[in-house]
Structure 1
Amino acid sequence: MQSVGRRKFLPRDTEGPPSGSDLLPTGPPARHRGKGGDVFSAAVIVIQHEPGEGPGSLLPYLRDARIVRTFAADPLPQDCEALVVLGGGMGVYEQDRLPHLRDEIRLLRRCVERGRPVLGICLGSQLLAAALGAEVAKAEAKEIGFYRVRLTPQAREDALFATAPESFVAFHWHGDAFTLPRGAVPLASSTLTPLQAFRFGERAWGVQFHLETDEEVFSAMMAGEAELREAGVDPEHLRSQSVRELPRLRSIAQGVFARWAELL
């Protein structure tokens, strides 16, 4: 999860520029009555918190999906068949300012309880951790840039990460961290962040690093140059690194996302 200021958090009525996620339907979808409340008709609900920062390289694996844009005040469902929660420039601890975060935590908890496939990325992983009772707080230092991630021994048996390299360079942009939810399996770490990914049960994953980052998402995130400079990160150096690292990251992401999509 990002702390506020990574890039200026835009008002909920701001639609922002088009992105790859515009290939998916957005806004209030058709509903049908399901057990426990209304269920969106799409098979996968993707919660997007920032304009331009859609599902990136995850997009090709989202069959029958719909984007719910919290920045545009799209309503959240009470339940769904599968759930993806993306990153954003706000924190789990800002639920009073941004009540939709509380609703997202409630939806994540319900999806886990009902065995729905769940994938939380960055802020999404923080919200999932909170939904599972873990502590989420500001980290000692922000982790912004391309840094190496190392998989745990448990990841060798994980449905998503079993065939991924034991270590690889991923894109990071977060200022918060979380503890391991009780009963969850740690899957990855980095030098600055001891817990980079976890699995809860057999169908819910939280991934702190931005595995979904493609060139389009990267470009949208780089609008937050003020935070980069504040953190001592050279934006031009990041852009130079991205030319080499994003194609490598995409090849890893494709395998992970394809295996998650098999759960749908």
Structure 2
Amino acid sequence: MNIHYLQHVPFETPASIEQWAIHNQHSLWATRFYANDSLPEIDTLDWVVVMGGPMNIYEDDKYPWLTAEKRFIEQAINQGKTVIGICLGSQLIADVLGSKVYQGEYKEIGWFPIQLTQAAKDSTIFGSLPQQLDVFHWHGDTFDLPAGATRLAYSEACQNQAFLYDKKVLALQFHLESTKDSVRQIIGNCLDELVEGKYIQAAEQMLSRDDDFEQINSVMRHVLDSLVQQNSHDNAVGSA
């Protein structure tokens, strides 16, 4: 497959998604907005992965490329591409699908559990996973659930943590792709956000969870593999 990811800042990379793509011999390349890269033609790719970043989806005046990025994501969805959004990426997808994106009641930074909904447990993507998962978070904004989307997960601090739209569009407010190195990079660049808060952990707490990094990366691989299998099945049914 040809997988294209949209990167907003140098320190938020695909991390374990890149490892998965290399292992499965998928082509992986990027538009790095911070480096003024151009967007590719939609027809040249199979998947779009929209990464995170410290900016907000409504800061088009400060980050003019956001306008073109939203249009690109909308085109990818309309053309039936698989689109995966992580953190900021999930908020951009929600915005493109017509939902409100806004500052949440709490910032959620660190390792906190999410609960899977019954719809998630009934799905092929999340069905075999535990009801509760400890995952890595770094977000202040949140979104309303888009019309036609299926809510997949929630947490104590945030009611909409993930959704699936039209079987191929997956939005994850949290990070399953994070590795210790990628979190270390975020901490180094966003240290000012680590203030006192009900759902904000200290840097050393975040980096001490070796087993949890392995667990979320395993879940990320499972989710990606499930999307590949589901798309293959849908394509086979569609061509039958």
TM-score of the superposed pair, with normalisation by structure 1: 0.79
Structure 1: where are the runs of 5+ without partners?
A: 1-41
Instruction: Say if 1:178 and 1:95 are closer, same or farther in 2 by CA, change over 3 A.
Output: same
Alpha-carbon distance in structure 1 between the residues aligned to 2:129 and 2:60: 35
| Letter matched to residue 61 of structure 1 | W
Q: Percent identity?
A: 34
Q: Does 1:61 align with 2:20?
A: yes
Q: CA deviation at 1:214?
A: 1.2
Q: Deviations over 1:1-20 (max 9, x none)?
A: xxxxxxxxxxxxxxxxxxxx
Give yes or no for contact 1:47–1:84 (8 Å, CA) kept in 2: yes
Instruction: Go from structure 1 to structure 2 and tell me whether the alpha carbon gap of 1:77 and 1:230 turns closer, same or farther (over 3 Å shift).
Output: farther
Distance change >3 Å, CA 195–CA 244, structure 1 → 2: same
The answer to whether the 8 Å contact 2:135/2:216 transfers is yes
Shift of 1:105: 1.2
- Give the match for residue 176 of structure 2: 211
Find the counterpart in structure 1 of residue 124 from structure 2: 159
1:226 aligned partner: 192
Deviation (angstroms), 1:133: 0.2
Corresponding letter in the other structure for 2:36: A
What secondary structure does 2:136 align onto?
strand
Deviating more after overlay: 210-219 vs 128-137: 210-219
Distance, in Å, in 2 between the alignment partners of 1:255 and 1:233 is: 27
Moved more, 49-58 or 129-138: 49-58
For residue 97 of structure 1, report the CA deviation from its aligned partner.
Answer: 1.4
**Equivalent residue letter for 2:89:** G
Q: Distance in 2 between matches of 1:230 and 1:190?
A: 19
Q: Residue type matched to 2:16 in 1?
A: S
**Distance change >3 Å, CA 230–CA 99, structure 1 → 2:** farther
The aligned runs of 1:115-154 (5 Å cut-off) are 115-154=80-119
Letter of the aligned partner of 2:94 in structure 1? Answer: A
1:70 pairs with one of 21, 33, 36: 33
Q: Give 2:216's aligned amino acid.
A: L
Give the SS at the match of 1:222.
helix
Q: State the aligned residue count.
A: 222
Q: Deviations over 1:43-78 (max 9, x none)?
A: 211011121321111113331121111111111235
Residues 165-174 or 152-161, more deviating: 152-161
Greater alpha carbon shift after TM alignment, 177-186 vs 94-103: 94-103
Aligned in 2, Cα 1:226/1:180: closer, same or farther, shift over 3 Å?
Answer: same
Whole-Å Cα distance in 2 between the matches of residues 250 and 233 of structure 1? 20
The question of whether the paired residues in 2 share the 8 Å contact of 1:81 and 1:116 is answered with: yes
* 8 Å CA contact 2:180, 2:207 repeated in 1: no
Offset at residue 243 of structure 1 (A): 2.2
Structure 2: which 5+ residue stretches go unaligned?
A: 233-240
Q: Which residue of 1 aligns with 2:215?
A: 248
CA distance in 2, matches of 1:92, 1:52: 18
Choose 169-178 or 152-161, whichever is displaced more: 152-161
The 10-residue stretch of structure 1 (146-155 or 105-114) with the greater mean CA deviation from structure 2: 105-114
Task: Compute the displacement of 1:147 (Å).
Answer: 0.3
Equivalent position amino acid for 1:119 in 2 = I
How far apart, CA to CA, are the structure 1 residues paired with 2:180 and 2:88? 20
Would the aligned equivalents of 1:78 and 1:107 in 2 still touch at CA under 8 Å? no
Structure-2 separation of matches of 1:81 and 1:243 = 33
Within 1, Cα distance between the matches of 2:46 and 2:105?
36
In terms of fraction of residues, the more helix-rich structure is 2
TM-score, scaled to structure 2: 0.87
Distance 1:229 1:137 in 2: 20
SS at match of 1:257: helix
